[in-house]
Structure 1
Amino acid sequence: MELSILLPETFKEQTIRELLEQEWLVPRKVRHFLRIRKNVSINGEPALFHFTAKAGDQITLTFEADDYPAPKLLLGDPTKVSVLFEDEHLIILNKPVGMKTHPNQPDEQDTLLNHLAAYLAPKNQVPYVVHRLDKETSGAILFAKNPFVLPILGRLLEKKEIYRRYQAIVSGALKETSFTIRKKIGRNRHDRRKRVIDEHKGDIAITHVEAVSYSKEKNQTLIYCVLETGRTHQIRVHLQSIGHPIIGDPLYHPRPKGRLMLHAYELHLVHPFSGETIIATAEPGIDLV
């Protein structure tokens, strides 16, 4: 695998060693082999690790097959892939409702990751999971297209630098149009599938909520949610905890009917290499009808 990256105008001058270790999070073992094999170049010329990289430079890295062993994935159906954004390093898809993000068993092949693997196979690329959506949730989801960019995207997610905005339809009329739910979430000891509010042993979870429109006839409200943390079932548990469960939620609504009305509508991030702001919108979304 060979990757060439043009350093943007905003790039701060640093050594190749600093760039690989601190900015691009290349594992120590892989850095070692890049160095001894002389598999790093600047503007087409071989570069040692003490060389300086600056804005406008073209950095080329050549990896051997054993630097990043490829995971084994069964190929699914590439026609089930709906692309919102794609470049050499990452891809954002519009996940259908009712489809798992990734397989839990090696013989599964009807998940979004399997279908994406089939889509990327002609390009000799393999997908990697950055984050996940519940099977019942639809919308924008980010994958890495190579193992090199995966830890960089993971760091953006950890530092809350990937913005995710969800749509949901909930039961009842909300008393406030804009508010924040801060309640810790833990495992349900009686049902492995579920999560519960657990202020003593749970993990900190923060969800920002904005009410958009209310249907008096259906007694339902369309809302937007922005996650400040990323706990399992966070939006679903938080909304159920304030008495407004999501319509169609098979785990947290007392009378679920139809699909889970939760959709990852927008995903924003600054591209880790180009500095470009990427905004992906997963249309058509959901609405009160």
Structure 2
Amino acid sequence: MQQNDESPELEDELYEHFRVEVPKGQDLLRIDKFLMHFIANSSRNKIQTAADNGDIYVNDVPVKSNYRVKPFDVVRILLAHPPFENRVDPENIPLDIVYEDEALLVINKPPGLVVHPGHGNYTGTLVNALAYHFENLPMNSSERPGLVHRIDKDTSGLLVIAKTEAAMTHLAKQFEAKTSEREYVAIVWGNLKEDEGTIEGNIARHLKDRMQMAVFADPNVGKPAVTHYKVLERFGYVTMVSCVLETGRTHQIRVHMKHIGHPLFNDARYGGDLILKGTTFTKYKQFIDNCFKILPRQALHAKTLGFVHPTTGEMMRFDTELPDDMQQLIEKWRAYAKSNTAGEDED
């Protein structure tokens, strides 16, 4: 499943999620079958995956799914995130629902709303809101209810949520097969030379800064990522672009645009919160500071979303207006560009 992951996982510490001592009279039984009787809302496939990942321990030794438990074995499941990350407390957080039927819903996520509980954000997320407004949402492969895909905390825009197991499976396959349609609008630093183009480059965790992703030339490092961009409007020192995703890697647009020398405007994680293009005049610096105040986040919005409906087979396409903060920023840059010959020779 293609997912945009907002928070990098903890890698150095393991947390105990489950522990049981095998009863005295237990017959020899494969551990995947044994655990299905003890772990609620789980499946044999998920247990086998945990074993393949080295997350299931017997007497403090990792075992595979074909291990046969015996009386008095101590079985533990250790994962790289605290167990309470998977506990979802319902919270009455309003949702902007663009469309809803029995199989799915499409929401317009505001900036600042984290999609799912994770390291540092255990409450106040979209998943907490979904748990309040809907019952019995299906779990995705990461045990998060309803989520087919994700966008970053400070990215606004459209998300599809599955309401049934069948819808989850059908939609997830579309995202994995790259048949879903996703267009983002971004404002980036600089004046792009070409009106349109394609950025290709494997994306993986940055070698030095684990909070960032990076593009790697080595084809054996990271996962392939493809972003198609098209210039929508030029403002001199910044440019508004449309980005269409073929893949859904972590921070894909943000890291790809930085890779070609055009970080997203006010993207603090990737250096876009600095004055990267423009003049040295105090008045210009004040203008940029005001722009940052208008849009205190990366300038990125998931504007359109398309997919085949899992029940009807109909092609569904949704579009949403840019949020107020981005519209205000665009108008400010549009006025600045009209009153200045800003950035005519910038690249």
CA distance in structure 2 between the partners assigned to 1:118 and 1:174 by the alignment: 44
Q: Which runs of 5+ in 1 are unaligned?
A: 1-26, 30-70
Match of 1:77 among 89, 92, 97: 92
Compared with structure 1, are the counterparts of its residues 235 and 72 closer, same or farther at alpha carbon in structure 2 (3 Å cutoff)? Answer: same
- 1:248 equivalent to 2:266? Answer yes
Aligned to 1:120: 134
Which AA in structure 2 matches 1:247?
Answer: F
- 1:211 equivalent to 2:225? Answer no
Which AA in structure 1 matches 2:316?
Answer: I
Structure 1 contact 74–108 (Cα < 8 Å) conserved: no
CA distance in structure 1 between the partners assigned to 2:198 and 2:305 by the alignment: 20
Q: Could you tell me the TM-score, scaled by structure 1's length?
A: 0.70
Query: For 1:9-88, what aligned pairs fall within 5 Å after superposition?
Result: 73-78=88-93, 80-88=94-102
Match of 1:96 among 82, 90, 110: 110
Structure 1 contact 267–279 (Cα < 8 Å) conserved: yes
Structure 1 contact 84–281 (Cα < 8 Å) conserved: no
- 1:132 equivalent to 2:150? Answer yes
Query: For 1:236-275, what aligned pairs fall within 5 Å after superposition?
Result: 236-256=254-274, 257=292, 258-275=296-313
Q: Which runs of 5+ in 2 are unaligned?
A: 1-42, 46-85, 139-144, 275-291, 332-347
Q: Greater CA radius of gyration, 1 or 2?
A: 2
Compared with structure 1, are the counterparts of its residues 195 and 152 closer, same or farther at alpha carbon in structure 2 (3 Å cutoff)? Answer: same
- 1:169 equivalent to 2:169? Answer no
Compared with structure 1, are the counterparts of its residues 106 and 274 closer, same or farther at alpha carbon in structure 2 (3 Å cutoff)? Answer: farther
Q: Could you list the per-position Cα deviations for residues 104-157 of structure 1 after superposition, in whole angstroms to 9, with x for gaps in the alignment?
A: 269923001111221224xx6564111110111110011111233212211011
Structure 1 contact 180–207 (Cα < 8 Å) conserved: yes
Query: For 1:189-200, what aligned pairs fall within 5 Å after superposition?
Result: 189-200=207-218
Q: Could you tell me the TM-score, scaled by structure 2's length?
A: 0.59
CA distance in structure 1 between the partners assigned to 2:197 and 2:121 by the alignment: 44
The RMSD of aligned alpha carbons is: 2.2
How many matched pairs? 217
Q: Could you list the per-position Cα deviations for residues 192-223 of structure 1 after superposition, in whole angstroms to 9, with x for gaps in the alignment?
A: 1101111111221110000010113xx11110
**1:115 is paired with a residue of what secondary structure?**
helix
- 1:277 equivalent to 2:297? Answer no
Higher helix fraction (1 or 2)? 2
